[in-house]
């Protein structure tokens, strides 16, 4: 058991060193960066499609689309207007790590980016342990899931800065309540900023996109 624990510590230590190097490179170029995490089907790709539709003409956005076996999400983002999209297929691994990101970054012209968004593999367990060099994690939860998700996966919600509650147009079709999921999430992390959105109807997307623009402006040291 101790050998396994030591190996895990070594892997995470090496990952953190590489993540720090990535963060330093992005910081030097004034690039804001987000790591999008969620369970499968919560709507990460849909939210990114809507974000591209709203901001693609204002911000230079680079996307890394992580997936276990396919490039489907990357192809969706390209069809949505993504100009700099790189698929990252893990071949079965349940998360992205800094080593994977470091292999893809040289394919992207960082001098031409304002914002880098990583769409992580659909999983609320493993991705919580791996720093990718991002400014912050954004955790998505949908109203089609249980509102006790933050209590079941506390590490992810503790290490995230933003929680997006997606599919609010479907409220009332299950026992899920926004009040309970917020209470559960804020119990884990009192500093979480929360957005309520519907990618289908557009509710809440303006507030989300305004926040993204403000994040980029702050990173670049200018007024939004």
- Residues forming beta bridges with residue 88, ordered by sequence position: 66
C-beta of residue 185 within 8 angstroms of C-beta of residue 61: no
Mean pLDDT for 79-98 is 93
Phi-psi region of 9 (alpha: psi -120 to 50; beta: other; left: phi over 0): alpha
Lowest-pLDDT range of 39-53, 86-100, 177-191, 202-216:
86-100
Distance of CA 11 to the CA centre of its chain: 22
Model confidence at 46: pLDDT above 70 = yes
Q: Is the pLDDT of residue 223 over 60?
A: no
Going by pLDDT thresholds of 50, 70 and 90, the confidence category of residue 105 is very high
User: Can you tell me the mean pLDDT for 54-73?
Assistant: 95
Domain that holds residue 130: 2-220
Give the per-residue pLDDT at 5: 47
Decide if pLDDT at 4 tops 90. Answer: no
Mean pLDDT of 146-160: 97
- Give the domain CATH number at 72: 3.40.50.300
Phi, psi angle pair for 178, to nearest 5°: -65, -40
Q: What is the pLDDT of residue 6?
A: 56
- Average pLDDT for residues 29-54, to the nearest whole number? 97
The whole-chain average pLDDT of the chain stands at 93
Is the pLDDT at 2 greater than 70? The verdict is: no
Q: What CA–CA distance (Å, rounded) separates 166 from 187?
A: 20
- Contact between 117 and 80 (Cβ < 8 Å): no
Structure tokens that stand for 79 in this block = 């069809």
Terminal C-alpha separation, the chain: 51
pTM confidence score: 0.92
Supply the pLDDT for residue 8: 53
Average pLDDT, stretch 196-219? 97
Any long-range contacts for 8-16 (C-beta under 8 Å, 24+ apart)? 12/129, 12/130, 15/97, 15/98, 15/99, 15/130, 15/131, 16/98, 16/131
> Is the predicted pLDDT of residue 59 greater than 90, yes or no?
yes
Q: How large is the C-alpha radius of gyration of the chain?
A: 17
Number of structural domains the chain divides into: 1
């Amino acid at each position: 058991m101790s050998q396994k624990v030591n190996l895990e510590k070594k892997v995470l230590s090496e990952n953190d060193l590489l993540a720090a190097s990535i963060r330093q490179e992005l910081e030097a170029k004034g690039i804001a960066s987000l790591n999008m995490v969620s369970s499968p089907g919560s709507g990460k790709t849909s939210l990114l499609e809507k974000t591209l539709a709203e901001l693609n003409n204002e911000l230079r956005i680079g996307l890394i689309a992580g997936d276990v076996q396919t490039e489907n999400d990357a192809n969706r983002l390209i069809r949505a207007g993504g100009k700099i999209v790189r698929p990252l297929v893990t071949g079965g691994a349940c998360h992205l790590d800094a080593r994977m990101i470091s292999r893809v970054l040289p394919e992207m012209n960082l001098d031409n980016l304002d914002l880098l968004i990583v769409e992580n593999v659909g999983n609320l367990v493993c991705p919580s342990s791996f720093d990718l060099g991002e400014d912050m994690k954004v955790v998505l939860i949908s109203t089609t899931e249980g509102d006790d998700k933050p209590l079941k996966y506390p590490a992810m919600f503790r290490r995230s800065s933003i929680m997006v509650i997606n599919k609010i147009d479907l409220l009332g079709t299950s026992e899920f309540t926004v009040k309970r999921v917020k209470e559960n999430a804020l119990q884990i992390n009192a500093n979480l900023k929360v957005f309520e959105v519907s990618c289908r109807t557009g509710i809440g997307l303006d507030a989300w996109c305004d926040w993204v623009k403000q994040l980029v402006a702050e990173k670049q040291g200018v007024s939004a």
